[in-house]
Chains A and B, each alone.
Chain A
């Protein structure tokens, strides 16, 4: 059997995609010429511009990114389905605007915030990070968003805020996966406050020079590059500062398999499979797996957060 090998794709193809998509938007608009006078095309241009020419943030890595098509068509989004490809189509049912985020708990400025206001207050930057799933696959994504720390500190958490809990939208009418009980809904994730305030922790609203696709967690998703992907919760509607450790969804589902910390660690296997290597998406069939790095390669920045902890116990 002869199998064609995909040529590796370098990061400059990311730009091609932006150009392609813009061109497509313009062509689409041109196609509806009679309507053109009525169409608020200024807003399309404004919209697409918002995610372009974004400055590169600190900690962004100079890595070849995974082809956008792979990232957009391979998502674990159990709110819609457990199938990583079908989620692309099903997630389009989600209405991401208007969107509000409720801030609760141990902070001064709690309340309901419009997403636009949050976006207005937090200038966008791009960060190319590795993303490692607990299922032993990984990718490199150019995320667009802002440091979580910047966003959270605006709500002025108080000294009792030891943890931060994040909650995904619960809407079984559109999120049809929530009608089945594969997990406890709504999806909840959490971080220790020092993890949340670490400059690597990122809140993303876009990727690959575009607004965040719905299947990838629009309009607001977490990106914690040194932890397994399930910590990077999607479609966030609530953030709560708390004194006690939040009960997180995968930990509730299988406490012996998915810990609260979930730091990427090749030396601590999942009870049912090895975590020592990972399949990097976008490679060819014959590309071998990559060795997984401790803290997904971000150890120099984050290892100190876990100085006196037994990582085998607090997995």
Chain B
């Protein structure tokens, strides 16, 4: 029993380490001046893309569990969701600190001229309450409402992908791949619901 618990926490530590790897690599590259010709853009886009990847991973857990019957991964859903928030926060921080240099005027200018930014902000505003209510006690306290609220993560994935779509110049390949993946996950959900409804009560 104790041994099982030990392994459980060991795998959790490993999972944390893996989730932090992209961030560590990015910091190391920044330290060594290896971010290429446009370091701010590299930091900014890499963090944004990892935020989106973690969102997609978070949404993958439930279908994995239900379809492939992999048990014990459920508890990782929260961890992945929190990392999505972490990378999104770093992405936002780079924007505020290094792109608009804490200037409200510059921020408004970028915001006014760049419709894609609104979708970034909307995504972040969705992730905020999800993060705030992510604890187990909150989950217990909120009950059914918690479930309803956390369905918003799908919306966050959609607005994040719109954010991406609106900023690329002509090569839509990457946002299309993310969109296709989200549609795939959606169709899994739908299928699960249909199967559930068919079951005799």
Q: How far is the CB of A209 from chain B (nearest CB, A)?
A: 19
Q: How far is the CB of B155 from chain A (nearest CB, A)?
A: 22
B170 touches A285 (CB 8 A): no
- Bound state CA distance, A186 and B166, in angstroms? 26
Q: Which of B86-142 contact A (CB under 8 A)?
A: 98-99, 101, 106, 109-110, 112-116
- Proximity bits, A96-116, B CB within 8 Å = 1, else 0: 000000000000000000000
Q: Does B17 contact A (CB under 8 A)?
A: no
B37 touches A274 (CB 8 A): no
A273 touches B113 (CB 8 A): yes
Q: Does A38 contact B (CB under 8 A)?
A: no
Q: Does A44 contact B (CB under 8 A)?
A: no
Contacts A137-B41, A285-B39; A272 near B114 (Cβ below 8 A):
yes
Residue from the set B37, B113, B115, B166 with the largest chain A CB neighbour count within 10 Å: B37
B38 touches A281 (CB 8 A): yes
Contacts A272-B114, A285-B39; A82 near B171 (Cβ below 8 A):
yes
Residues of A within 8 A of B200 (CB): none
- Bound state CA distance, A125 and B116, in angstroms? 43
A272 touches B115 (CB 8 A): yes
A74 touches B37 (CB 8 A): yes
- Bound state CA distance, A3 and B42, in angstroms? 14
- Bound state CA distance, A33 and B171, in angstroms? 48
B40 touches A285 (CB 8 A): yes
Residues of A within 8 A of B30 (CB): 1, 3-4, 285
Q: Could you count the A-B residue pairs with CB atoms below 8 Å apart for me: how many are there?
A: 76
Residue from the set B98, B110, B170 with the largest chain A CB neighbour count within 10 Å: B170
A274 touches B113 (CB 8 A): yes
Q: Does B193 contact A (CB under 8 A)?
A: no
Contacts A182-B170, A273-B167; A2 near B31 (Cβ below 8 A):
yes
Contacts A4-B33, A272-B166, A281-B37; A182 near B171 (Cβ below 8 A):
yes
Q: How far is the CB of A46 from chain B (nearest CB, A)?
A: 31
Q: Does B27 contact A (CB under 8 A)?
A: yes
How many chain-B residues does the 8 Å CB contact rule pick out? 29
- Proximity bits, A1-43, B CB within 8 Å = 1, else 0: 1111010000000000000000000000000000000000000
B43 touches A137 (CB 8 A): no
Q: Does B169 contact A (CB under 8 A)?
A: yes
B113 touches A73 (CB 8 A): no
- Of all chain A residues, which has the CB nearest B98? A285
Q: Does A121 contact B (CB under 8 A)?
A: no
Residues of B within 8 A of A73 (CB): 36-37
- Proximity bits, A266-299, B CB within 8 Å = 1, else 0: 0001101111110101101110110000000000
- Bound state CA distance, A55 and B114, in angstroms? 43
Q: How far is the CB of B144 from chain A (nearest CB, A)?
A: 40
Q: Which of B17-63 contact A (CB under 8 A)?
A: 27, 30-33, 35-41, 43
- Of all chain B residues, which has the CB nearest A1? B27
Q: Does A70 contact B (CB under 8 A)?
A: yes
Contacts A137-B41, A281-B37; A274 near B110 (Cβ below 8 A):
yes
Contacts A4-B31, A82-B171; A274 near B114 (Cβ below 8 A):
yes
Contacts A85-B36, A272-B114, A273-B110 aside, 11 further interface pairs with beta carbons under 8 A come to: A2-B31, A6-B33, A74-B37, A78-B170, A137-B38, A254-B170, A272-B115, A274-B112, A277-B109, A279-B41, A281-B37
Pull 7 A–B residue pairs with CB atoms less than 8 Å apart, ordered by A.
A182-B170, A269-B113, A272-B166, A277-B109, A279-B38, A279-B40, A289-B106
Residues on B lying within 8 angstroms of A by beta carbon are 27, 30-33, 35-41, 43, 98-99, 101, 106, 109-110, 112-116, 166-167, 169-171
Residues on A lying within 8 angstroms of B by beta carbon are 1-4, 6, 69-71, 73-74, 78, 82, 84-85, 135, 137, 182-183, 253-254, 269-270, 272-277, 279, 281-282, 284-286, 288-289
